A and B are shown apart, each in its own frame.
Chain A
Amino acid sequence: MSLNTDPNFFTPGKRYFRAFSPGDDFYEALIDMHRDLSDEQSAMANARLILLLANHIGDISVLREAMKVAREGV
């Protein structure tokens, strides 16, 4: 499998009528996760989140691809 960079967010069982809604649901939850955290705490939360998601994805070739894209742009 290769890295999927097309829109891919959904909520099981939820019907969306507007294309922008699932991505916005995700983004709001992401920003909410950081509410009231200091910058340092946020950085730690982000690191933990990446580790959890990386394990969930599992396929290290996909992860390497994502890491490459992430690093290239900064």
Chain B
Amino acid sequence: MLSTYQYPKFEYRRPPEIAEGREGGGGRYPVVVVGAGPVGLTAAIDLAIHGVPVVLLDNDDTVSIGSRGVCYAKRALEIMDRLGCAEEMVAKGVSWNVGRTFFREQEVFNFNLCPEPDHHRPGMINLQQYYLEEYLVRRAQSLPEIDLRWKNNVIAVSDQGDRVALRVETADGAYSIETDWLVVADGARSPIRHMMGLDIEGKIFMDRFLIADVVMKADYPTERWFWFDPPFHPNQSVLLHRQADNVWRIDFQLGWNVDPEEEKQPEKVIPRIKAMLGWHANEEREFELEWVSVYTFQCRRMHEFRHGRLLFTGDAAHQVSPFGARGANSGIQDTDNLVWKLKLVLDGTAPARLLDTYSEERVAAADENLMNSTRSTDFITPKSATSRTFRNAVLGLAKDYPFARALVNSGRLSVPSVLVESPLNTPDTEVFAGNMVPGAPMDDAPVDSTRGEKWLLQAAGNRFLLLYCMPDAGDVDAATADACTALAAGAIPVETLVVAERGTAPAGLGTLIDVKGRVRERYDLKPGTCYLIRPDQHVAARWRSLDAAKVRAALARATCNA
């Protein structure tokens, strides 16, 4: 098979515990992360950005092998922006917003992930998972807070109540270390979950999918194409995606009763692809196989993501079928939710109970992801004759009737959860229009700031923020400015940014010029409106006027200090 990608080999180094003869123990760290997949890497980078030293252990020495994640969603890219790594990903990846769905011969439905203008990041990019990981590794290696140890295999874990003890195996022998907190990002099979005897519950889908990565030159538009029951692969579904380097991802649904080993053979795979390309382009197109595998998928999650001092993230905590691209995307959102909380707990400015809300908020998000990917899978692979009849009836009506188009489910692509039930939210007491409710991840919008930020989300994140709306930033009165300065000097600082049409805020306060009026529109701003924003860019509370006492109360609630 042809390879467009050179897998890097990261260097193993003798760990300091072994080099210094402390194999038996002694090394104590605030945070250890296990697993340098997309989720563990994101966690480590986020911790480093928050100034927390972190040891990152991985039992391998390269990036993700073969065909795995492809689609990275807008919210994941916004998180990558906060961590300083989105630029490369977007530059290398293939940006897209439009998806088309075909039933038999005809297009029946299309969607646009980003129908609204004035967002920094596209609805989705397609990028092979190995590139995503390569860029994350590079970023991690540039941060002195991260001690990234390849070929370090965690073989034992025990929660000692006030710390976690780990045993790690290397080519130079085994060693022990201790950590205050353990972030578990060791993937779907999660050896640590097994070591701790913890369960993960859910179901496996009785279906197999052939996943082929194919190298070819083709000028198809950069859209997601999904076929139900196409002439070239009757009674099953097919999905086509463009990735970087002229690599195309094709998923063929195979049904349950096939031999996965046989289906992987080029002599089986090549005719399938030829039939598809021939049908579409009506011509012989040259292609080469880059990678072929046969997968089954499962939908399941752990009951809770926090177990004492262990914090489970990503595939270790939950797995979904890939039709909504909700795997890595949701794992990245796990760490986005976790890291600022861990930082406050390590600093002693929030109680450990704040970490329970990591589990509460992300379990709710996982349930939404599981629900959506289960619904997609049920639509794509109906489990009974009646279910198939309804599915085909929907597809048949979709061409002419808008209500049926809305029911066509070829994957509800990853969008972030609105954490409406979170105990960290301060409920509204005043009336607001729009979707920026407490618990919502922030909508982006173009701005201009003295610090050079061009987007609202570039100006938010990594600390608590108060957005305060005033048409002329110069009109903020002295008493309000003093109150904001006091908020910035609290144990958990809250920085104020004045969202204005013009002018400059008094010293100590930042100014964001709402250049296109989109912030006002998307956040339903009126003069005096303010929003308290969490370090993970979620709305914690909002009011129609600024009252520092209310801001303090909402801050206490958002950090479990109430």
List 14 A-B residue pairs with CB atoms under 8 Å apart, sorted by A's residue number.
A5-B401, A17-B418, A17-B435, A23-B407, A24-B375, A27-B375, A27-B407, A30-B390, A34-B384, A34-B387, A39-B385, A46-B386, A73-B397, A74-B396
Query: Number of residue pairs across A and B with beta carbons under 8 Å?
Result: 60
Q: In the complex, what residues of B have CB within 8 A of residue A74's CB?
A: 396
Tell me, in angstroms, the Cα distance from A6 to B407 when the chains sit together.
11
CA distance A30 to B406 in the complex (A): 15
Chain B nearest CB from A36 CB (Å) reads: 9
Q: Does B402 belong to the interface (CB within 8 Å)?
A: yes
Closest-by-CB residue of A relative to B387 is A31
Closest 3 A/B residue pairs (Cβ): A42-B386, A5-B401, A7-B406
Does B68 sit within 8 A of A, measured CB to CB? no
Interface assignment of A18: CB less than 8 Å from any CB of chain B: yes
- Pair A42/B384 contact, Cβ less than 8 Å: yes
Once the chains are docked, how many angstroms separate the CA of A15 from the CA of B375?
A: 19
Interface residues as binary, B5-19 with A (CB distance below 8 Å gives 1, 0 otherwise): 000000000000000
B418, closest chain A residue (CB): A17
Chain B positions within 8 Å of A7 at CB level: 402-403, 406
Interface residues in A17-31 (C-beta closer than 8 Å to B): 17-20, 23-24, 26-28, 30-31
* Distance between B299 CB and nearest chain A CB, rounded to angstroms: 14
A52 within 8 A of B: no
Nearest CB of A to B489, in Å: 36
B196 to chain A, nearest CB (A): 33
**B435 neighbours in A (Cβ, 8 Å):** 17
> Are B409 and A20 in contact (CB-based, < 8 A)?
yes
Cβ–Cβ contact A20 & B397, under 8 A = no
Interface residue? A8 (CB, 8 A):
yes
Instruction: Give the interface centre of B379, B394, B397, B403 by most chain A CB atoms within 10 Å.
Output: B403
Which residues does B use to contact A, with CB under 8 Å?
372, 375, 378-379, 384-387, 390, 394, 396-397, 400-404, 406-407, 409, 412, 415, 418, 420, 435, 440
Contact A20 B390 (CB under 8 A): no
Q: Which residues of A contact B386 (CB under 8 A)?
A: 34, 37, 39, 42-43, 46
Query: Other than the known A18-B412, A30-B390, what 6 A-B pairs have Cβ atoms closer than 8 Å?
Result: A4-B403, A27-B379, A27-B390, A28-B375, A31-B387, A74-B396
CB distance from A13 to the nearest CB of B (A): 13
A2 → B minimal CB distance (Å) = 13
Once the chains bind, are B378 and A5 in contact (CB under 8 Å)? no
In the assembled complex, the CB of B111 is this many whole angstroms from the nearest CB of chain A, namely 9
Min CB distance B475 to A, Å, is 34
Contact assessment for B397 and A6 in the assembled complex, using a CB-CB cutoff below 8 Å: no
Q: Please state if A6 and B402 are interface contacts (CB–CB under 8 Å).
A: yes
CA distance A4 to B406 in the complex (A): 14
Contacts of A23 in B (CB 8 A): 403, 406-407
User: What's the Cα separation between A69 and B399 when bound, in Å?
Assistant: 13
Q: Is the CB of B415 within 8 A of A18?
A: yes
Query: Which of A20, A34, A42, A46 touches B406 (beta carbons < 8 Å)?
Result: A20
Instruction: Enumerate chain B residues within 8 angstroms of A4, measured Cβ to Cβ.
Output: 403
B418 to chain A, nearest CB (A): 5
A26 to B440, CA, bound (A): 24
Report B-chain residues with C-beta under 8 Å of the C-beta of A46: 386
Shortest CB distance A33–B (Å)? 9
Q: How far is the CB of A73 from chain B (nearest CB, A)?
A: 5
Least CB distance from B105 to A in Å reads 15
A24 adjacent to B403 (CB under 8 Å): no
- CB B220 to nearest CB in A, in angstroms, measures 25
Q: Mark A39-54, 1 if CB is under 8 A from B, else 0.
A: 1001100100000000
- Write out the residue numbers on chain A whose beta carbons fall within 8 Å of the beta carbon of B384: 34, 39, 42
| Chain B residue nearest in CB terms to A3 | B401
User: Chain A nearest CB: distance from B22 CB in Å?
Assistant: 51
CB nearest to A20 among chain B residues: B412
Contact among B378, B397, B403 for A8, CB-based, below 8 A: B403
CB distance from B339 to the nearest CB of A (A): 25
* A37 partner residues in chain B, CB cutoff 8 A: 386
Question: What is the minimal beta-carbon distance from A69 to any residue of chain B, in angstroms?
Answer: 8
Most buried by B among A27, A28, A42: A27
Q: Which residues of B have CB within 8 Å of A8?
A: 403
Residues of A within 8 A of B440 (CB): 17
Chain B residues with CB under 8 A of A6:
402-403
Q: Hey, which chain B residues are within 8 Å of A26, CB to CB?
A: 407
Residues of B close to A17: CB separation below 8 A: 418, 435, 440
**A24 and B418 form a contact (CB under 8 A):** no
The 8 Å CB contact of A27, one of B372, B409, B415, B418, is B409
Query: Which residue of A has the minimal Cβ distance to B385?
Result: A39
B408–chain A nearest beta-carbon distance, Å: 9
The CA-CA distance from A6 to B375 in the complex, in Å, is: 21
Instruction: Report yes or no: B372 in contact with A24, Cβ–Cβ below 8 A.
Output: yes
Q: How far apart sit A27 and B374, CA to CA, in the bound complex (Å)?
A: 12
Query: Given the complex of chains A and B, what is the CA–CA distance between A37 and B440 in angstroms?
Result: 40
A73 to B400: give the CA distance in the assembly, Å: 10
Which one of B402, B406, B418, B435 has the greatest number of beta carbons of chain A within 10 Å? B406
Contacts of B372 in A (CB 8 A): 24
- Within the assembled complex, what's the spacing in Å between the Cα atoms of A74 and B406? 20
Question: In the bound complex, how far is the Cα of B409 from the Cα of A73, in angstroms?
Answer: 20
User: How far apart are B374's CB and chain A's nearest CB, in angstroms?
Assistant: 9
